[in-house]
Amino acid sequence: MNSSKKINSALISVFDKTGLAPIVQELAKNNVEIFSTGGTQNFIEELGIKVTPVEELTSFPSILGGRVKTLHPKIFGGILHRRLFEQDLEQIDTYDIPPIDLVIVDLYPFEATVASGASHEDIIEKIDIGGISLIRAAAKNYKDVVILPSQKSYAGFLEIYANNATTTYDQRKHFAMQAFNVSSHYDTHIFNYFNDETEDVFKQSILNASVLRYGENPHQKGVFYGDMDALFDKLHGKELSYNNLLDIDAAVNLMADFQNEEPTFAILKHNNACGLASRPTLKEAYEAALAADPVSAFGGILIANTTIDLATAELINSLFCEVVIAPKMNDDALELLKSKKNRVLLIQKLFTFPTKQFRTILNGVLEQDRDILLETKPDLQTITSKEPTASEIEDLLFANKLVKHTKSNTIVIAKNKQLLASGTGQTSRVDALNQAIHKAKTFAFDLKGAVMASDAFFPFPDCVEIAHNEGINTVIQPGGSIKDDLSVAYCNENDMAMVMTGNRHFKH
Backbone dihedral angles phi then psi of residue 272, each to the nearest 5 degrees: -120, 145
Question: In whole angstroms, what is the distance from residue 206 CA to residue 185 CA?
Answer: 7
Nearest partner of 498 among 378, 380, 376, 399, judged by Cα: 380
Q: Which of 140, 143, 173, 234 is catalytic?
A: 140
Residue 303 vs residues 76, 121, 492: alpha-carbon distances, Å: 55, 41, 39
Question: In whole angstroms, what is the distance from residue 442 CA to residue 295 CA?
Answer: 11
Using an 8 Å Cβ cutoff, are 508 and 486 in contact?
A: no
Cross-strand partners of 411:
423, 454
Instruction: Judge whether 270 counts as a catalytic residue.
Output: yes
Question: In whole angstroms, what is the distance from residue 247 CA to residue 244 CA?
Answer: 5
- The answer to whether the bond into 409 is cis (omega within 30° of 0) is yes
Q: Which of 174, 270, 338, 340 is catalytic?
A: 270
Instruction: Judge whether 140 counts as a catalytic residue.
Output: yes
Q: Where are the beta strands (DSSP E) in 383-489?
A: 411-414, 419-423, 451-454, 474-477
Question: In whole angstroms, what is the distance from residue 423 CA to residue 440 CA?
Answer: 10
Q: Can you give 178-194 as a three-state secondary structure string?
A: HHHHHHHHHHHHHHHHH
Backbone dihedral angles phi then psi of residue 255, each to the nearest 5 degrees: -70, -20
Handedness of CA 404, 408, 409, 413 (dihedral sign): negative
Nearest partner of 143 among 116, 118, 168, 125, judged by Cα: 168
- Count Cβ atoms below 10 Å from residue 411 Cβ, excluding itself: 30
By annotation, the residues acting in catalysis are 140, 270
